[in-house]
Amino acid sequence: GQNIDQPTEMTATEGAIVQINCTYQTSGFNGLFWYQQHAGEAPTFLSYNVLDGLEEKGRFSSFLSRSKGYSYLLLKELQMKDSASYLCASRGLGGATNKLIFGTGTLLAVQP
Amino acid sequence: DVKVTQSSRYLVKRTGEKVFLECVQDMDHENMFWYRQDPGLGLRLIYFSYDVKMKEKGDIPEGYSVSREKKERFSLILESASTNQTSMYLCASSYPGQFNEQFFGPGTRLTVL
């Protein structure tokens, strides 16, 4: 079976750090993606992990543990514009098609 | 700048109508995808295509069909729209290969009355 779990909602304060967790159970694993989606807009790519460890990109970092089926997205120095939904997606095995299984998303509200 | 466009942002149709949703990408991507997004259910894959005239069912293909006659264009067809197909429809495209992010269009919010 295939299942992606992430919290439904989170709240954090401007300037703080927030960690959004994602656990996955998929038949075959070939990478973990994070997307950001502002209300009424298209999802946009944030990060990709295929090996264990931390990938850092400016204020955003993403971590993967394949043995635990676990990933997190870390957002530092939060800004009001970071209020959005964050989607975790697992890519299964299957060659060239790049098919993704998405979680339901975590709605992050950044407060002043 | 990469671009995926969808024919309409908002669409209202009646039950039983045939509905066409069009998606065009200008990145020469081989792969194209149609998703629907519903509150509490997230993004669910309806159909995808990995080449012209090639298509595969996703997780929820019932009630939908697709057409890909040209590389840049991928159409989603609702043969006979029903109220439970009211949703946000998102198109995406990507290159093949292990690491290639999907680029999404702005979405079409379809309401079936």
pLDDT tens-place string over residues A99-111: 888 999 999 999 9
What is the percentage of chain B residues whose pLDDT exceeds 90?
Answer: 82
Hey, are the CB atoms on A97 and B105 less than 8 Å from each other? no
Reading chain B (113 residues) residue by residue, the pLDDT tens digits are 669 999 999 999 999 999 999 999 999 999 999 999 999 898 999 999 999 989 999 999 999 999 999 999 999 999 999 999 999 999 999 988 766 789 999 999 999 99
Contacts of B42 (CB under 8 A, 6+ apart): A4, A87, A102, A103, A104, A105
Q: Which residue of B has its CA nearest to A30?
A: B98
What pLDDT score was predicted for residue B97?
73
The predicted-structure confidence for A58-101, as pLDDT tens digits, reads as follows 999 999 999 999 999 999 999 999 999 999 999 876 654 568 88
Per CB-CB distance under 8 Å, the chain B contacts of A107 are: none
Per CB-CB distance under 8 Å, the chain A contacts of B43 are: 43, 87, 89, 102
What pLDDT score was predicted for residue A99?
80
- By the CB < 8 Å criterion, does B57 face chain A? no
Kindly state the average pLDDT of the residues A46-67.
94
What pLDDT score was predicted for residue A97?
59
What pLDDT score was predicted for residue A95?
53
Closest CA to A87 of B87, B30, B92, B97: B92
* Of B94 and A30, the one with more pLDDT: B94
Contacts of A56 (CB under 8 A, 6+ apart): none
- By the CB < 8 Å criterion, does A67 face chain B? no
Please give the interface size between A and B, counted as residue pairs whose CB atoms are below 8 Å apart. 61
What pLDDT score was predicted for residue B40?
87
- By the CB < 8 Å criterion, does B101 face chain A? yes
- By the CB < 8 Å criterion, does B48 face chain A? yes
For chain A, give the longest Cα–Cα distance.
45
What pLDDT score was predicted for residue A49?
94
Q: How many other CB atoms are found less than 10 A from the CB of residue B84?
A: 9
Q: Which residue of B has its CA nearest to A46?
A: B101
pLDDT band at A28 (very low <50, low <70, confident <90, very high): confident
Residue B99, burial from CB neighbour count under 10 angstroms (0-12, 13-18, 19+): middle
Hey, are the CB atoms on A97 and B31 less than 8 Å from each other? yes
Chain B: closest CA distance from residue A103 (Å): 6
The predicted-structure confidence for A7-27, as pLDDT tens digits, reads as follows 999 999 999 999 999 999 877
Chain B: closest CA distance from residue A9 (Å): 11
Pull the structure tokens for residue B51.
């080449």
